[in-house]
Amino acid sequence: MKKVFGVLGGGSWGTALVKILSENCDKINWYVRNQENVDYINKFKSNSNYLNSVSLKINKINVSASIKDVTKNSEILVLAIPSPFLNSELKKIDNLIIDKHIFSALKGVVPDSHLVVSEHLNQKYGVPLSNIGIITGPCHAEEVALEKLSYLTVASQDAQIGQFVKKSLQTKFINSKFSEDSLGVEYAAMLKNIYALVAGVSNGLGYGDNFQSVLISNSVQEMKKFIKTIYKVKRDINGSEYLGDLLVTSYSSFSRNRTLGNMIGRGYTISSAISEMNMISEGYYATKNAYEIGLENKTKFKIIETAYEILYNGRSPKKCFKDLSEKLN
């Protein structure tokens, strides 16, 4: 099987995915929104704005500022556009994507609809769920840039195309595997951002390693309960696509969600923390979605509720964590 990939998104994760795919693919189409950045990449073989230490195999990469051209000339689309901007970009290609295989590398919800990406593509654009896959796992873009060993999971209802994508992502520094649990994997990727944000708040408040280990342990239990509530199927929550991704996001200095939480714990307002980071923290948007799912299912998720109280109801992080500490076990 030979199919052409089109990577949509010129950020750090988009750049990392292009680097990975160029190890195995002869041709990759890459949508980068800014023409100035396109010209820079073509001239200097690196992305001036993200992971600029990465030397790109530009002879294999067709970089374009036209999302329509990249979509038309690609059979498999990989979404790496930050979720707050995803819908506005999809509107430009809404008549081109229904028959494409689309793999989301996003780990959050689409703020416009409060849906995870696969549900958004299906419900808002009519893309069949069988054509939608997920790329996830404990894999920070910054470590990909350094070619440090990382792990990815490709999930899809279509095993044949899923296995092809999995093999395309396998390199000397990336171990990849395949899963059929598309929805479970996608929700795990969303939830781990919330738990990482909460872990960051605890660190900012001055809680120690002992408390944080209990917090993460409870987060794993809550993740398992949440995913089982929305999609009951046999799965091993200890797999790298679930627990592994949660751990790296909760503890790593590269984690945007942990960084945002840490700033909030140290006393920043929500708006000032988001503004100062100048990067998208998916956990902020995911919290509202997860909280509402809990209400719809009449199910309590104590850590998600703590995040919601801090982020959306303006409650004191200190008071919220005092309450939460009494509920953990």
Where are the alpha helices (H) located in the chain, listed in sequence order?
Answer: 12-21, 35-44, 67-72, 83-90, 117-125, 141-145, 159-168, 182-205, 209-230, 245-251, 256-265, 270-277, 282-296, 302-311, 317-325
User: What are the backbone dihedrals phi and psi of residue 46, each rounded to the nearest 5 degrees, phi first?
Assistant: -155, 160
Torsion of Cα atoms, 226 then 231 then 232 then 237, to 10°: -50
Per-residue pLDDT of the chain (329 residues; tens, 9 = 90+): 789 999 999 999 999 999 999 999 999 999 999 999 999 999 999 999 899 999 999 999 999 999 999 999 999 999 999 888 999 999 999 999 999 999 999 988 898 888 999 999 999 999 999 999 999 999 988 898 889 999 999 999 999 999 999 999 999 999 999 999 999 999 999 999 999 999 999 999 999 999 999 999 999 999 999 999 988 888 889 888 899 999 999 998 889 999 999 999 999 999 999 888 877 788 998 999 999 999 999 999 999 999 999 999 999 999 999 999 999 99
Q: What are the structural domains, with CATH classification, of the chain?
A: 5-180 (3.40.50.720), 186-325 (1.10.1040.10)
**pTM for this model (two decimals):** 0.93
Beta bridge partners of 257: none
Q: In whole angstroms, what is the distance from residue 187 CA to residue 116 CA?
A: 7
